[in-house]
Amino acid sequence: MREISGMVMVWHGPAGEIPWEIEEPETGPGWRAMRLRTAVVRTHPQEMTENCVDIGHLIVLHGFDKVRVIDPFVTEGPRARMRYAFSTTIPLIGSIDTEIRILVDGLGFSVVETKAAGWQMRQLVVGTPINEREVVVRAWTSVRGRGNSPLTRILWRPVDAILDRVLSHEMFAQLIRDEVIWERKKYLNRPALGAGDGPISKFRVWCRQFYPDQTN
């Protein structure tokens, strides 16, 4: 059990031990209070996390344009990282170049760091199974206020407050768009993958460490 970014996180390995330490997201001046949104989805934590490497769905489902891989999917023990760039359209704002860095800690916790038009945003996503078929998705979103000094931070504050509301709503809306995949997806041991699907095979090999009793 540990407090991370204001959340009390409880996790354990198969034998009840703490299998690894969770990396706390970097903090610094300007980060606004996190906003929490929740949803109950019929899925499995692995399926939720797998969408991080499903590059094709970024275009088809999320409507992103010019999707590029900046840093490919890499793993280090229970952690995985990847970085993408794309263009996205934000209501009231328009089309902007966006970069996201996804940090995955096991199958239950991921952090999506977003940079767009000089703004920094963050979404912490926790998937907690509540029975064999359902997961509570909790997403905390936060926007970093603009300004490099106490005075400029005060001047930016009204704009930060509006953007905070718009962007945190948009970040959660984008996350929950995946529900249509999570709720209908069927797990296949040997899926027929196309070139545009992303490194799903590599992701699934990485996942095996979380099922030490399974031999496949």
Binding site for Fe ion (CB under 5 A): 51, 178
Task: Return the bridge partners of 112, or none.
Answer: 102, 123
The CB-of-51 to Fe ion minimum distance in angstroms stands at 4
Taking the least distance from each CB to Fe ion, the nearer of 146 and 185 is 185
Q: Biggest alpha carbon distance in the chain? A: 59
Q: Minimum distance from CB of 54 to Fe ion (Å)?
A: 7
- Select 62 or 146, whichever has its Cβ closest to Fe ion: 62
Residue type, 2: R
Smallest distance from Fe ion to CB 202, Å: 18
142's CB contacts (< 8 A; 6+ apart) are 31, 32, 33, 34, 35, 121, 122, 123, 168
Q: Please say which residue, 119 or 182, places its beta carbon nearer to Fe ion.
A: 182
Query: Taking the CA of residue 98 as centre, how many other CA atoms within 13 Å lie in the half-sphere pointing to its CB?
Result: 25
Give the closest residue to 175 by CA, choosing from 80, 35, 2, 79: 35
* Beta carbon of residue 38, minimum distance to Fe ion (angstroms, whole number): 17
Residue nearest to Fe ion (CB): 178
Nearer to Fe ion, 159 or 193 (CB): 193
